[in-house]
Amino acid sequence: MAEKLYYRIGEVAQKFNVQPTLIRYWEREFDFIKPHKSEKGTRMFTQKDVERFEIVYHLVKEKGMTIQGTKDYFKKHYDNKSLDKLDIINTLKKTRDLLSDVKSALEESRPENQ
C-alpha cells in the first residue's frame, strides 16, 4: 500500500481482503484503532491505524485467536508505550527499505569501470 496520509475504509478493506463491516467492527472492539472521520462521517485511516489493524488481522485471521483472546493479548503484551515502540520500529523498517532502494538505484547508475 503506497504511503498516503489517509486511507479510506475501502482501501484498507482491499489491502486485507476483508469487508468494510469487519473493519468497522474491529474499530468498535479495539480502542487503539481510531480512524479520523470527515464532516460527512467518512473514516480516514492513518498509516498507524493500518499498521495496528494489521496486528489485529494477524492475530485473529492468521493465528486464529478470538476477539477476547486478542484483547487479552494486547492487555498483557501491549500498552501505549509498546504501541508507540511498534510505531517507531515500523518507521525504522520503512526508512531502512527506502535507504536500501536508494543504494540499489545508485549502484545501478554507477558506470561499470568504477
pTM: 0.65
CA dist list (Å): 114 to 21, 87, 110 = 56, 40, 7
Quote the CA–CA distance of 78 and 65 in Å, as a whole number: 16
Residue range 64-111, pLDDT digits in tens: 999 999 888 888 776 656 666 666 766 777 788 889 988 888 888 887
CATH fold of 1-78: Multidrug-efflux Transporter Regulator; Chain: A; Domain 2 (1.10.1660)
Alpha-carbon distance of 67 to 69, in angstroms, equals: 5
Per the structure block, which three cell numbers stand in for 65?
485467536
Residue-wise pLDDT for 33-42, tens only, equals: 889 988 898 9
